[in-house]
Structure 1
Amino acid sequence: MRSVKVRVPAKINLALHVGAARADGYHQLATVFHAIDIHDEITATASHDGAVNVEVVDILGKPMPHVPSDRTNLAAQAALLLRDRLAEPDLGVHLRIRKAIPVAGGMAGGSADAAGALLACNDVWRGGLTRRELDTLAAVLGSDVPFLLHGGNALGTGRGEQVTPVLSRSTFHWVLGVYAEGMSTPAVYAEFDRLSEGRGKNTPDEPHGVLAALGSGDPEALAGAMRNDLTDAALSLRPELARGLDVGSARPPLTGLLSGSGPTTVFLMPDSESAEVFSVDLRDQGIFDGVVVAEGPAAGARVVG
């Protein structure tokens, strides 16, 4: 049977400006997405029995039973949505997801797998849909999915699904502090609403400083402009996250903040050498369950085999 392998990156939010909740329950966002070189791999093997199956393993190939493998998995939903679009009910697929992106870590791991599944199934089923057509399906699946098809840097508006590419003049270096226990994105947004008590702006501020810093390629300027409006809500639910953020208040990190709805903490570093040195120090401190060095921007979902 024909198989296709797709690699898809994680994302962090260089800016996450959050407006008030909309009538549909989503929040109006102005965010800057940044893809980094931590990847999940999705291998799609075609069948003609109409079955859509998901297998999830870690980077060592060990099963991850805490990650859904039924139709609640976004990758399975992506395959089913694409099959409906192709109007070919007999198309089946086995999706093997090899995860390196932290689960429920604020880095869009589920959305990455959905983007990878869309691209892989379109290829393995010879669907023939263009990237623009896949973008339309991606927006149905989730706010982060369209960005992860393309990667790089992008401004996200609406609920995040309206994506405009943004150029940058530099590679940026990161150290990630990862927690074993994830966080629920809906719970963090609900806490944001509770804390703001309806005072949130309908239209969030534009992240002009981050966009300018990407254009200049200046990591210090980027550090000064980064902001995550969900930080207080995440800390309200998990006060212990403050200890990890406090590490970023002194050099060598230029800054530290939560990625998305948390709890992964990202530290912007001046260069690759300081990132390696700081990662060793961070591991020794034992604040996080895992420490990872990364850089971005990285390419979006792409076929690798």
Structure 2
Amino acid sequence: MVLSLDRLTKTFGSKIAVDHLSATLQPGVYGLLGANGAGKTTLMRMICAILEPSSGEVLLDGQNVSDMGADYRDLLGYLPQDFGYYPSYTAKDYLEYIAVLKGIPRHAATAKIKELLNVVGLSEVSKKKIRTFSGGMKQRLGIAQALLNDPKILILDEPTAGLDPKERVRFRNLLSSLANDRIVILSTHIVSDVEAIADKVFVMKQGSFVSQGSIRELVKEAQGHVWEIAVNPSETGRWEEQMTVANLRREDDKTILRIISENSPSESATCVPATLEDLYLYHFPTERSE
């Protein structure tokens, strides 16, 4: 199975949301990393055939997905940033409803729903109304509905928003286990989620891929641009105003600043190994990842 993006473009009036993107995806986990407004959601909606491209096309094994209709939708699992649900439904009722919409036979749906409620940790609250759920619980329910039809292409837009650290780890482990025979696309601005499981990462900025490759390949781009410097605590504010400070920590009576900069910020600065988070801040210096 090969999913291809061929010069994919989407414009809204004079605004270019996605700009001539091309990529080839095979089974595995792909991270789509970028700041809010980078075009990630627009791209994913085109991959899901919800939005029609202004130009270019999405191909599955050489066939335009727009021409495949229901055959393509049957292969998809999609979790948008804000998925629709009925507050008066229980979790079990909601998944049964979605199973009907997806054309899943009742006997198969019953077993799958029980399995997924357990996987996302909602078995004990399966008969509670969704309106009583926390944000993280609702998000886990959304993940379950995306997996209902055992999709071959799983597309998740900010799936870990609202999840606590333990839930995020469980979710990442689940994605890793699913990726052997399917394409998983994970859009996020949370660097640690991508770093933990992605086979390949696309860094998206202003509708374009500014970098793409494995974690190791991408981190190399930031090598030589990450520095540490010890300063007096009273000077921290001045450095944060002038530089992109990725992190700071206290050591004895000094504050150690981790700075992203093309050149050494000071004669006393030391160049240190880069991480994916450093690369993110290298491309998005005004953003703060998690």
> Does the TM-score normalized on the shorter chain lie above 0.5?
no
Higher RCO structure (Cα 8 Å, ≥6 apart): 1
- Point out the structure with max Rg over C-alpha: 2
Interval containing the TM-score (normalised by the shorter chain):
under 0.3
Under a length normalisation based on structure 1, what TM-score does the superposition of the two structures give?
Answer: 0.26
Output the TM-score relative to the length of structure 2. Answer: 0.27
